[in-house]
Amino acid sequence: MAINIKRPNGTEDVLPSDVHKWHTVEKIARDTAETFGFSEIRVPTFENTDLFLRSVGETTDVVQKEMYTVKAKETEFTLRPEGTAGTIRAMLQNGLLNEALPQRVYYLLSCFRHERPQAGRLREFHQFGLEMAGSASPAADAEVISLAKTLLDRLELKNIKLFINSIGCPKCRAEYHKALRTYFEARKDELCETCQDRLVKNPMRILDCKSPICQEIGKDAPIILDYLCEECSSHFESLKKYLTALGIEFSVNPKIVRGLDYYTKTVFEFVTTEIGAQGTVCGGGRYDGLIEQLGGQKVPALGFGMGIERLLLVMEKQGCPFVIPKKCDIYFATMGDAALEKAMELSHQLREYGYYAEFDLMGRGLKAQMKYANKIGASFTLVLGDNELSEGKAKIKEMESGEETEILLNDKFVGNFDGVYFDKIMNVIEDDEAMAAFMNGKENN
Ligand code: ATP
Ligand code: MG
């Protein structure tokens, strides 16, 4: 019987030809987070199932339909469906909340949800996310939203709309739940089975249901903003004021309730209409009760998660710039074993200085080696044979122009190559902008 070695549905391979796109997002995400005072945290891929039941919430789609729960011997675990729960668990377990507040951490990680795979919706996907714990101030909400916006801008994404809402605190939500129950009760029989159950346990979740019928019924449902208590209402007003002061455009969308139970007060989404139905590239909000719910002190907190696959879909569609993948600086074409040894030695020296050097490992003839050098786009080639070795010098060829320069193969070889290399750049680069682009590419290498 043939074994099935295809990758599972809803997973993706990132091939070497595409990985620079991921590096672009990861690098700019890290740099941006760090300029806002966030440090990276790394947490396990799986956690105790209870952690997600308690935090994400038992009536959410994620917990009810999407978790990958695995049994190994007598223990049971769940692959993380999101990053917040594990991150807060780690902050508590390692006492980070006893240190200077606010505590600010970011992460780049994979998440697992058993969903119906489609463009922008995978079963293993990746998030850039962050959490800030300790501040109850709406300025913290503005800071976190501003960070997300700065990142999207630095990635040069366009036409992404920010929607914000407040879903209040347990105090104002009690009244709101009552109003929702009354509203949905009238059309209870038309709701999907899950939502009939939600009507009893957590009626706000009905607003997040993906079923078109439930969505249609929910259209005229009461909105939470009419039920906010004074504290939640003034928190929301301050946030709007800060965003305006920062020049960040937003729309209030009272329909945003977010798919996870732990949110309180501010929730927000950055949405694009350019990649079809899965247009939410970033979702987040405040979760003032979560840390206490997980057995910690009462510490207010907030954060967001950004789907990297969705970001990349938009970036590709919009032609956003990616870092230039490193290209071969010099290829040594060799004839004979002594030349191969010399190529090894010179390559080693060049690599110590950050150059990308290659030589033949396939036993190809000279012509085939040159063809290969062309194929990988080497900037320079240098042919090494018996003559070059005995004379201690060789011709280095700039592939684009075909121009050849003599270079000494002595102990100053790296310096000699530097000279040829920078001469080439000076010839090719015409203005400051091109120079900046070149240096940027080199730095990213
Ligand atoms: P959606 O409404 O699209 O299902 P969600 O509310 O479940 O999103 P969150 O739990 O807030 O999403 O996750 C944060 C971000 O992670 C989303 O905005 C999205 O960019 C990304 N994301 C969520 N689920 C998936 C998935 N199955 N595949 C790819 N990206 C995802
Ligand atoms: Mg979802």
Domains and CATH numbers, the chain: 19-169+229-318 (3.30.930.10), 172-224 (no CATH), 330-444 (3.40.50.800)
pLDDT surpasses 70 at 362: yes
Pocket of ligand 1 contains residue 280 by CB under 6 Å: yes
Q: Which numbered atom of ligand 1 lies nearest the CA of 280?
A: 18
Q: Are 85 and 74 in contact (CB under 8 A)?
A: no
From the CA of 275, which ligand is nearest?
Answer: 1
**Mean pLDDT computed over 237-250:** 98
Tell me what pLDDT residue 443 has.
53
Cα dihedral 422, 424, 425, 428, rounded to 10, equals 160
From the CA of 307, which ligand is nearest?
Answer: 1
Q: Grade residue 445 by pLDDT with cuts at 50, 70 and 90.
A: very low
| Whole-structure pTM value | 0.91
How many Cα atoms occupy the beta-carbon half-sphere of 33 within 13 Å? 25
The residue whose CA is least distant from atom 11 of ligand 1 is 283
Tell me what pLDDT residue 83 has.
97
How many Cα atoms occupy the beta-carbon half-sphere of 355 within 13 Å? 22
Q: Which residue has the tokens 């946030």?
A: 239
The residue whose CA is least distant from atom 23 of ligand 1 is 307
Q: Grade residue 327 by pLDDT with cuts at 50, 70 and 90.
A: very high
pLDDT surpasses 90 at 281: yes
Question: Rounded distance, CA 216 to CA 224, Å?
Answer: 18
pLDDT surpasses 80 at 427: no
**Probe target for ligand 1 pocket from 280, 304, 315, with the most ligand atoms within 8 Å of CB:** 280
Q: Are 146 and 233 in contact (CB under 8 A)?
A: no
Pocket of ligand 1 contains residue 208 by CB under 6 Å: no
CA of 74 from ligand 1 middle (Å) equals 31
Pocket of ligand 1 contains residue 57 by CB under 6 Å: no
pLDDT surpasses 50 at 308: yes
More confident residue, 56 or 260: 56
Pocket of ligand 1 contains residue 113 by CB under 6 Å: yes
How does the average pLDDT of the chain come out, rounded?
94
**Mean pLDDT computed over 189-208:** 92
pLDDT surpasses 50 at 388: yes
- The closest alpha carbon to 58, from 268, 306, 262, belongs to 262
| Amino acid type, 16 | P
Tell me what pLDDT residue 439 has.
63
Question: Residues near 321 by Cβ (< 8 Å), separated by ≥ 6?
Answer: 24, 156
pLDDT surpasses 90 at 289: yes
Secondary element (H or E) of residue 341: helix 337-352
**Probe target for ligand 1 pocket from 310, 311, 313, 314, with the most ligand atoms within 8 Å of CB:** 310
CA of 288 from ligand 1 middle (Å) equals 21
The residue whose CA is least distant from atom 24 of ligand 1 is 121
Pocket of ligand 1 contains residue 235 by CB under 6 Å: no
**In sequence order, what E strands does 137-286 have?**
161-166, 251-252, 264-271, 280-286
Q: Grade residue 104 by pLDDT with cuts at 50, 70 and 90.
A: very high
31 phi-psi bin (left φ>0, alpha ψ -120 to 50, beta other): alpha
Q: Grade residue 396 by pLDDT with cuts at 50, 70 and 90.
A: very high
pLDDT surpasses 70 at 82: yes
Q: Are 305 and 145 in contact (CB under 8 A)?
A: no
List the single range of 236-250, 272-286, 336-350 with lowest mean pLDDT: 272-286
Q: Which numbered atom of ligand 1 lies nearest the CA of 66?
A: 27
Residues of the chain above pLDDT 70, percent: 96
**Mean pLDDT computed over 408-434:** 84
Tell me what pLDDT residue 436 has.
67
Count other Cβ atoms within 10 Å, centred on residue 220. Answer: 8
**Mean pLDDT computed over 110-137:** 97
pLDDT surpasses 80 at 442: no
Cα dihedral 45, 48, 49, 54, rounded to 10, equals -110
Q: Grade residue 435 by pLDDT with cuts at 50, 70 and 90.
A: low
List the single range of 308-312, 325-329, 364-368 with lowest mean pLDDT: 325-329
Pocket of ligand 1 contains residue 89 by CB under 6 Å: no
pLDDT surpasses 70 at 437: no
**Probe target for ligand 1 pocket from 55, 84, 111, with the most ligand atoms within 8 Å of CB:** 111
Tell me what pLDDT residue 163 has.
97
The residue whose CA is least distant from atom 6 of ligand 1 is 259
Pairing of the two strands 161-166 and 404-408:
unpaired
Task: Collect residues with CB below 5 Å from ion ligand 2.
Answer: 259
Pocket of ligand 1 contains residue 262 by CB under 6 Å: no
> Counting every residue, how long is the chain?
445
What Å distances lie between residue 429 and 330, 433, 444, 445, CA to CA? Answer: 19, 9, 18, 18
**Mean pLDDT computed over 159-172:** 95
Tell me what pLDDT residue 429 has.
63
- The closest alpha carbon to 136, from 296, 295, 305, 291, belongs to 291
Pairing of the two strands 393-398 and 380-384:
antiparallel
Question: Rounded distance, CA 293 to CA 304, Å?
Answer: 19
Q: Which numbered atom of ligand 1 lies nearest the CA of 311?
A: 20
List the single range of 56-65, 369-378, 430-439 with lowest mean pLDDT: 430-439
The alpha carbon of residue 369 and the mean position of all alpha carbons in its chain are separated, in whole angstroms, by: 39
Its sign, for the CA torsion 308, 314, 317, 322, is negative
CA of 121 from ligand 2 middle (Å) equals 8
